[in-house]
């Protein structure tokens, strides 16, 4: 069986920092399935992404000097630099969508401020650098799961507004491109299985908590008739919400394998194929 290092060096794809263009002013209030609950769940992820991306950058950047001193791996260092560049762009584009949410009538500031205060003002500040990196690695695993799902299922292609489809699909492509970077950094800094699983426990609980809290904050602002789930909304949730259909749990269990490495799932071609088909339309061809 290949070691983590062998898997990492043999499967590193090209990571490219892109500057896409999206027209969020045309996005309707219920842009996913015309469904308030599905849209709220997607919008809640959008609310937590920007600060989360900045956290990923801080967590990995903390160890860059050590990587340069202790390991002769200029390719990984270059991938770290491009990883951080991609994450900067992801945060910027998702934060731009905040303006569209406000224009649609949502109050989001109180939630974003509360989330950032708890997650980064308290939890991050009271966690060790290694644990923060392990949390980042676990969250990157979940975003890779979201990414593969976005690029292989018809949810975005058939049921989302084109601007949001393109935003989330572009983000998904780049998540697949750099899905191994933080993991490879952690393996050099501290390959402890216990540390990796501690990061998983913290990451999964925090992600689910803040995600549901964000969706609840948005749903509270819907008219009473929208707050009562229709039969169709319940069906969509059961079939497509990863917290209900088992996909989140499967990703969690997959990560528990002692020999786990992100590159073991060769889905990089999904990113290449989507960008080849759609890159010109979003200005990254």
**Each residue of 244-261: pLDDT tens digit?**
999 999 999 999 999 999
pLDDT value for 118: 98
Instruction: Name residues whose C-beta falls within 8 Å of residue 82's C-beta, 6 or more positions apart in sequence.
Output: 15, 16, 17, 178
Residue count of the chain, please give it: 285
Token couple for 252: 């969690």
Q: Which residues of 74-107 are buried (b: 16+ CB within 10 A; e: fewer)?
A: eebeebbebbbbbbebbbebbbebbebbeeeebe
Architecture field, domain 28-278: Orthogonal Bundle (1.10)
Q: By the 8 A CB rule, do 153 and 159 touch?
A: no
The Cα–Cα gap between 188 and 171 comes to 27
State pTM to two decimals.
Answer: 0.94
pLDDT value for 10: 47
pLDDT value for 12: 64
Q: By the 8 A CB rule, do 38 and 237 touch?
A: yes
Greatest extent of the chain over all pairs of C-alpha atoms, in Å: 60
Token couple for 191: 């390959």
Point out the residues of the chain with pLDDT beneath 70.
1-12
pLDDT value for 122: 98
The Cα–Cα gap between 279 and 285 comes to 5
Smallest CA-to-CA distance from 202 within 192, 212, 210 is with: 210
pLDDT tens-digit readout, 53-87: 999 999 999 999 999 999 989 999 999 999 999 99
Domain coordinates of the chain in residue numbers?
A: 28-278
pLDDT tens-digit readout, 120-150: 999 999 999 999 999 999 999 999 999 999 9
pLDDT value for 11: 54
Q: By the 8 A CB rule, do 169 and 272 touch?
A: no
């Amino acid at each position: 069986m290949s070691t983590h290092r062998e898997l990492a060096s043999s499967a590193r794809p090209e990571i490219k920092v892109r500057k896409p263009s999206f027209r969020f002013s045309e996005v309707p209030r219920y842009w996913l399935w015309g469904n308030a609950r599905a849209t709220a769940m997607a919008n809640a992820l959008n609310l937590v992404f920007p600060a989360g991306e900045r956290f990923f950058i801080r967590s990995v950047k903390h160890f860059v000097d050590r990587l340069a001193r202790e390991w002769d791996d200029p390719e990984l260092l270059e991938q770290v630099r491009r990883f951080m560049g991609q994450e900067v762009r992801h945060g910027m584009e998702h934060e731009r969508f905040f303006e569209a949410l406000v224009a649609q009538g949502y109050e989001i500031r109180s939630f974003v401020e509360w989330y950032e205060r708890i997650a980064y003002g308290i939890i991050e500040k009271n966690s060790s650098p290694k644990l923060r990196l392990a949390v980042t690695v676990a969250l990157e695993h979940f975003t890779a799961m979201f990414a593969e799902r976005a690029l292989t299922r018809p949810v975005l292609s058939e049921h989302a507004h084109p601007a949001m489809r393109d935003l989330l699909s572009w983000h998904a492509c780049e998540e697949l491109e750099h899905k191994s970077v933080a993991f490879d950094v952690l393996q050099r800094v501290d390959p402890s299985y216990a540390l990796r699983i501690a990061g998983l426990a913290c990451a999964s609980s925090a992600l689910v908590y803040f995600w549901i809290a964000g969706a609840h904050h948005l749903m509270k602002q819907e008219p009473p008739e929208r707050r009562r789930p229709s039969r169709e909304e319940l069906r969509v949730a059961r079939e497509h919400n990863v917290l209900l259909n088992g996909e989140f749990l499967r990703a969690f269990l997959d990560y528990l394998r002692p020999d786990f490495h992100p590159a073991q799932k060769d889905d990089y071609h999904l990113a290449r194929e989507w960008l080849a088909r759609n890159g010109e339309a979003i200005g990254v061809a």
